[in-house]
Amino acid sequence: MRPHINQGDTGEPSAFRDLTTIRVGGEAGRVFVGRTSDELVHVAGLTWQGPDEWMLLGGGSNTVVSEEGFDGTVILVRSQGIEVLDTPGEPADAVRLRVQAGHSWDAVVEYAVSHGLAGIEALSGIPGSAGAAPVQNIGAYGQEIAEVLHAITFLDYETGAITRMPAAVLGLGYRTSVIKQGRLGIVLSIDLTLRRSADTDNPLSAPVRYQQLADALGVSIGDRVPLAELRRAVIRLRASKGMVLDATDPDSVSAGSFFTNPIVTESAARTLPAVAPRWPLQPEEQAVAVTTFEELASGVPLRRAEAPAEPRLVKLSAAWLIENSGVSRGFALPGSGAAISSRHTLAITNRGGATGEEVAQLARFVQQRVQSEFGVVLQPEPVLVDLEL
């Protein structure tokens, strides 16, 4: 099957300002569009045989490009489709979906909720495509895709082979995976294992894990609520922060959360103000008992001290760090078209005519303020093309 190429017949633009949700960036050297898995394999073969650099672009919600553009090939992932797979040997309530990489992620969640399938309802409203979801290990409101991802179909750049990669080999962590860390190739499809509610007339969500969401629903942590009700609550929460794409909302013209929540050692977290939000990532280590002088005197056998445990890790709130470093909502550098969202300090928005460099300049300013105030270096979440922080 022949690929679609940007020759005016595809309806796809070639400027990143028209291909990304933050609406900045210059032109691509050329654009290939893959509307099926076969087309993606074909255009990848054409691209990888040549000398040009290449990049993938799905929904464009996690990419910021300079005004210089990208003098290479952009492969637009536009494949669509959701298929229900057989699951022999799985529990009776397990339902496995195979989703094509270009399918809108929120459309996947909508499909699951409308069919009474639980496991991704708290990930409602996240922009982008299904194929990008495991690359970032997307997560929100107490759920991560790692919890339901069974496998991906992957076109490997090094070998040119199409392989099935189980979730266990993807190195899924907080907003990362082996693909994000440098495993080159294209996610062609993803397999999700969801759970069908026992109550088919009123299908329930997975247990609510996130306090803000529980408060919005008027329930307690661990409670279940109707799937559709939870989805509506999540979308309302995201919209209140400008985190749902909306042509009428200038705060949604962004790349989503610009910085990941920092993960630091517990000792580093203790240097922050007591009110700074923090979430331990592992249970408390048990103290190692060591024989004391008094015990030796009473005849207790000598016990060798064990090696010290790994330092406990703590996740911090990047939004809290930003706001408490003196960077307020709506803040912009003089003369810049980029600004902090008026509703959430974690998002950098294009207030009209911003350039990629202006976005990066504001991000650098935020980094410097947080590092100066708290000694924490924030890391960007979007892919930056020809831009540096």
pLDDT for the residue 200:
85
Task: Name the percent of the chain lying above pLDDT 90.
Answer: 85
Residue 300: band (very low, low, confident or very high) from pLDDT cuts 50, 70, 90: low
Q: What pLDDT digit, counting tens, does each position of 318-358 carry?
A: 999 999 999 999 999 999 999 999 999 999 999 999 999 99
Give CATH for domain 250-261+317-385: 3.90.78.10
Is 175 a catalytic site residue? yes
Query: Residue 150 is encoded by which pair of tokens?
Result: 């069974």
Strands ordered across the beta sheet of 263-265: 263-265, 313-316, 278-280
For tokens 């189980």, name the residue.
166
| Strand, helix or coil for residue 332 | coil
Is 240 a catalytic site residue? no
Q: What pLDDT digit, counting tens, does each position of 183-227 carry?
A: 999 999 999 999 998 888 899 999 999 999 999 999 999 999 999
Q: Where are the domains of the chain?
A: 4-77, 82-240, 250-261+317-385
Domains 4-77 and 250-261+317-385 share a fold: no
Q: Which residues contact 91 (CB under 8 A, 6 or more apart)?
A: none
pLDDT for the residue 11:
61
pLDDT for the residue 303:
52
E runs forming strands in the chain: 4-5, 28-34, 54-57, 63-65, 70-77, 82-85, 94-100, 117-118, 139-140, 143-144, 149-156, 162-166, 185-196, 254-257, 263-265, 278-280, 313-316, 338-340, 347-350, 383-385
pLDDT for the residue 301:
56
Q: What pLDDT digit, counting tens, does each position of 24-41 carry?
A: 999 999 999 999 999 999
Give CATH for domain 4-77: 3.30.43.10
pTM of structure:
0.87
Question: What mean pLDDT is reported for the chain?
Answer: 91
Q: Which of 61, 205, 252, 257 is catalytic?
A: 257
Is 205 a catalytic site residue? no
In words, the CATH class of domain 82-240 is alpha beta
Q: Which residues contact 196 (CB under 8 A, 6 or more apart)?
A: 93, 94, 95, 116, 117, 118, 203
DSSP string, 74-112: EEEE----EEEEP-TTS-TTEEEEEEETTSBHHHHHHHH
Q: Which of 68, 110, 147, 175 is catalytic?
A: 175
E runs forming strands in 19-69: 28-34, 54-57, 63-65
**Higher confidence at residue 168 or residue 293?**
168
